[in-house]
Amino acid sequence: MRYLNPRYVSRGISGQSAMIARCELKDSAAEDHCRPSSDRNSNSGLKIGSPVIVTEAPRMIKTAASIPCLRVNSGLVKPGDVGRIVSRKPMDVWAVRLTIGTYLIDGKYFKPLELDE
């Protein structure tokens, strides 16, 4: 499939150049790249409200506030901390509510917590 963006097509005014943008899917690798990362990783079973446990402390942490604050993790989030998923963000980043607050954490730093019932 090819799409033309009329924004980049020249209107015929002298001295202007034309650019045509093409969007194409070339192979199955591109299709895999277009799938959400949740389909490709081990955290695909996560949903809002799922309990998680931090397996590795991230170097930098970002608050999940309306105005986020990025800071060095100086022992605030530690391995073994337990929290719950609040929301999902792009690129396998999750908003996790911990006892110290809600932070945006990459999916590689935690795993789902299996609760014994």
Instruction: Tell me if 91 is assigned to some domain.
Output: yes
What is the reported pLDDT for 42?
Answer: 56
**Helix H or strand E encompassing 48:** none
Q: What share of the chain is helix, strand, coil (3-state, %, to 5)?
A: 15, 30, 55
| pTM for the full predicted model | 0.61
Instruction: Tell me if 108 is assigned to some domain.
Output: yes
Instruction: Tell me if 69 is assigned to some domain.
Output: yes
**Helix H or strand E encompassing 53:** strand 51-54
Instruction: Tell me if 117 is assigned to some domain.
Output: no
Residues 6+ apart with CB under 8 A from 111: 42, 43, 52, 53, 55
Instruction: Tell me if 1 is assigned to some domain.
Output: no
In whole angstroms, give the CA distance from residue 12 to residue 88: 46
- Provide the domain count of the chain: 1
Q: What is the mean pLDDT of residues 77-97?
A: 94
**Helix H or strand E encompassing 65:** none
Instruction: Tell me if 36 is assigned to some domain.
Output: yes
Q: Give tens-digit pLDDT for 17-67.
A: 655 655 555 554 444 444 444 444 556 678 899 999 999 999 999 999 999
Instruction: Tell me if 84 is assigned to some domain.
Output: yes
Residue 81 lies in domain: 6-112
